Amino acid sequence: MSDVIIIGGGPAGAAMGSYLSMAGISNTIFEGSHFPREHVGESLVTSTTRVLGDINFLETMEREGFTHKYGASWHPPTGNEFSVVFKEFPQEGIHQDYTYHVERSKFDHLLLQHAEKLGSKVYQGVPVKQVLFEGEQAVGVRVNLDGQDTDFPCKVVVDASGRGTLLGRQLNLKKKDPIFDQYAIHAWFEGVDRGTGPSHEYIHIYFLPVERGWVWQIPINDRVTSIGVVIEKEVFKQSKADLSEFFNKHTMMNPDLARAIKNARRINEFKREGDYSYSMDKFVGDGYVIIGDAARFVDPIFSSGISIALYSAKFASEHIIKALETGDFSAVAFEPYETRLRGGVQVWYEFIRLYYKLLPLFTHFIQSKTHREQVHRLLQGEVFDREEVPVLQAMRDYIQKVEETDSHIFKQHLSSIPLD
């Protein structure tokens, strides 16, 4: 019997297994798929480097040759590209001026293997059917093992089931985001013109002249580039277009992107992603914690997904270790984890919401001497353990000024997204 059972072997689950194994705590990971398996979310923010260093995985990242990511560029539909370079503002505890772009099938598989090497017991192709409870207390899981239902007891259940949100569905905790309902269509391409300057290996974000529409360009390796169109789901439904037609139409809306992919050739099938934004009513309960995408998923515009997954594992593992020392597995014992994670994700969420409310605002603040460093640190994923984020209030105040001034140059750029 393991002290901890982890549902899901993606980045959140594998990081959790790594932290627990390094602390000498027995843990079992049940992963319903067989790795390697494809997944979206291929670009990291620099703060993830701190967690990968914690679990001694950076050496693997370098050995396996994942693409180094030194910065990010944004392309408005009218041109005037602007960029940030991560080395401009070094982060405490991080000793390199880059993070990574990753092929998720490879990255996730290596991270799960790493957890196994550290001591996690890993079952692949073994889906968890449900979490078992005695009253309100989680006491184990029921899995489909060799075609039969088998129960495994434990002291703590960790739901890292990703967008499958196993406990969220089982306990009816999942709530759709009231504002965001994004939809993504993406594929891999060869022959994308990335340019020859320092931004060759940046992530590139192209704004589209439609509300909440944008495109990512992520260099997976020297040959392959991931490109994805993100749009409101309702916009896609109303278009009645097939994936290829919709993708091609929208990638032509930004001149910089149209030039970049002029001679590109798609090398795999288009894929679609929905159900992008949601949250659980709670992240913890008696005998369980929920981490990563299983707890909360916000719009992916700033590549926050893996950062939230890894930090949720880091924070939750600290309280699981303490619970095993004290024997207190109550929701109260795990609540500090929820408070910390929810606070950080809320910073991401507010930043994203302000970004969508007035796109030129982002350009204005990233180029401001007063606010540039704060915006930069948000983009690097430094959102946890922050009591105040003054730049967010400054952005709100600026939006209010635009709303109240009929002649303001940015008035026409305001979206309908609510801020309260």
> 328 and 214, same structural domain?
no
pLDDT of residue 298: 87
> 374 and 337, same structural domain?
no
- Residue 137 phi/psi, 5-degree rounding, is -95, 125
- Residue 349 phi/psi, 5-degree rounding, is -65, -45
The predicted-structure confidence for 320-370, as pLDDT tens digits, reads as follows 999 999 999 999 999 999 999 999 999 999 999 998 888 778 888 888 889
CB 182 within 8 A of CB 277: yes
Residue 237 scores a pLDDT above 90 = no
- Mean pLDDT estimate for the chain: 93
With respect to residue 91, please indicate whether it lies within any of the assigned structural domains. Answer: no
**Concatenated DSSP letters for 106-174?**
HHHHHHHHHHHHHT-EEEES--EEEEEEETTEEEEEEEEETTEEEEEE-SEEEE--GGG-HHHHHTT-E
With respect to residue 419, please indicate whether it lies within any of the assigned structural domains. Answer: no
**Concatenated DSSP letters for 233-297?**
HHHHHHHT--HHHHHHHHHTSSHHHHHHTTT-EE-S--EEE----EEES-SEETTEEE-GGGTEE
> 187 and 170, same structural domain?
no
Encoded tokens for 202: 């940046």
> 250 and 291, same structural domain?
no
CATH code of the domain containing 138? 3.50.50.60
Overall domain count for the chain: 3
Q: Which range has the worst mean pLDDT, 46-60, 160-174, 220-234, 375-389?
A: 375-389
> 329 and 238, same structural domain?
no
Residue 418 scores a pLDDT above 90 = no
> 391 and 299, same structural domain?
no
Average pLDDT score over residue span 237-254? 92
With respect to residue 79, please indicate whether it lies within any of the assigned structural domains. Answer: no
**Concatenated DSSP letters for 183-241?**
EEEEEEEES----SSGGGGSEEEEE-SSTT-EEEEEE-SSSEEEEEEEEEHHHHHHHT-
The predicted-structure confidence for 170-195, as pLDDT tens digits, reads as follows 999 999 988 888 889 999 999 999 98
Q: Write down which residue in 250, 273, 296 finishes a domain.
A: 273
The whole-model pTM stands at 0.95
With respect to residue 76, please indicate whether it lies within any of the assigned structural domains. Answer: no
pLDDT of residue 356: 86
Cis before 36 (ω within 30):
yes
Q: Write down which residue in 226, 242, 273 finishes a domain.
A: 273
With respect to residue 96, please indicate whether it lies within any of the assigned structural domains. Answer: no
Considering 71-75, 132-136, 228-232, 239-243, the range whose residues carry the highest mean pLDDT is 132-136
With respect to residue 71, please indicate whether it lies within any of the assigned structural domains. Answer: no
The residue with greater pLDDT, 173 or 415, is 173
> 294 and 264, same structural domain?
no
CATH code of the domain containing 193? 3.30.9.100
With respect to residue 251, please indicate whether it lies within any of the assigned structural domains. Answer: yes
CB 279 within 8 A of CB 292: no
> 385 and 320, same structural domain?
no
> 188 and 301, same structural domain?
no
> 151 and 169, same structural domain?
yes
What are the angstrom distances between the C-alpha of 272 and each of 47, 105, 124, 168, 276? 28, 17, 25, 22, 11
Domain span at residue 118 reads 4-66+102-176+278-343
Q: Write down which residue in 216, 244, 273 finishes a domain.
A: 273
> 251 and 194, same structural domain?
yes
With respect to residue 81, please indicate whether it lies within any of the assigned structural domains. Answer: no
Nearest to 106 by CA among 157, 149, 55, 66: 66
- Residue 240: pLDDT band (50, 70, 90) is confident
> 360 and 304, same structural domain?
no
